[in-house]
Structure 1
Amino acid sequence: MEVSRHWRLQEQRYKLVGETCDTCGVKLFPPRDVCLECKAPAYKLYTFTGHGEIYSFTTIYDAPAGFEHNAPYTVALVKLEEGPIITAQLTDVAESELSIGMPVEMVTRKLRTDGEEGMIVYGYKFRPAVTQPVLH
């Protein structure tokens, strides 16, 4: 990954920053600039809490290029408390402890080492929730 792209994506990787539709209020992740529900412009930035629950999960044994050293690892569809469903690696948990509906929270972790220069790429993963979400 080129350095410029890495810095451009930093907000959504480290803080789960998406957008909110000004017309219908739907929260979007990743940022899309156009609402998926009503097709109106959506430019207002929104930082997600990072709390959600496991919607589905699977274990990857034959990892794609760049992730071979992590295999096997578990990937989940996480339904954020604000609505969107995102894909993320799970961490700090054994597969035998996982269940659909398990509360999880976002954490920042190393994803991989990229390129000949060995740039370390960090991003979000989810672990079992150890803090309670703040009710809005």
Structure 2
Amino acid sequence: MSWEPRPVPEPNPETERYWAAAASGELLVRECLGCGLVYHYPRALCPDCFSEDVEWREASGRGEVYSYSTARTMSGWPEEDLPLVLAYVELDDGPRMMTTIDAKPEDVEIGTRVDVRFVDTDASDVAIPVFIPVDD
């Protein structure tokens, strides 16, 4: 799967380390040292207690489908990559993240175990985390 012509995220100061790690094959989450919350999407303040005392942590990249939907048409999406399975994956490390599942819709259900993989983009400092079903 090629990522383009889909939009490529533009890193900003809060997310550039996340995207660079993804380009190196690592999935990062943030952990609040104040309250212990592990969260995703990257931001400078803890979304629970608003502490600035947060750090990056490498996630295992494994989890399970928490919720999903199938898009059979999508403006701007390559037709050969449809239907698209959009999902929330609950990582074994705690947080849920919105993503896509690289699988046929009939191979995905709530509770399906998944593992992260990264799709390169034309930008050398950005790769997109997507998930694939795995047997546990």
TM (normalized to structure 1)? 0.74
Structure 2: gaps spanning 5 or more residues? 1-6
**What is the identity, as a one-letter code, of the residue corresponding to 2:35?**
C
State whether structure 2 residue 27 is matched by structure 1 residue 31.
no
Provide the rounded CA distance (Å) in 2 between the counterparts of 1:21 and 1:10: 21
Residue 5 (str. 1) matches residue 11 (str. 2): yes
Q: Specify which of 104, 109, 127 is matched with residue 122 of structure 1.
A: 127
Residue type of the alignment partner of 1:39 = F
| Structure with more contact order per residue of length (Cα contacts < 8 Å, sep ≥ 6) | 2
- Given that residues 12 and 30 in structure 1 are in contact (C-alpha distance below 8 angstroms), is that contact kept between their aligned partners in structure 2? no
Distance across 2 between alignment mates of 1:22 and 1:64: 41
Q: Which runs of 4+ in 1 moved over 6 A?
A: 1-4
Gaps of 5+ in 1: 114-118
Task: Describe the shift of the 1:76–1:44 C-alpha distance in structure 2 as closer, same or farther (beyond 3 A).
Answer: same
Amino acid of the structure 1 residue aligned with 2:127: Y
Cα distance in structure 2, aligned partners of 1:126 and 1:12? 13
Q: Residues 33 and 127 from structure 1, CA distance in 2 versus in 1: closer, same or farther, beyond 3 angstroms?
A: same
Q: 1:11 to 1:42 in 2, by over 3 A?
A: farther
State percent identity of aligned pairs: 22
Q: Is the 8 A contact 1:17 1:30 kept in 2?
A: no
- 1:90 correspondence with 2:96: no
Name the structure with the higher strand share. 1
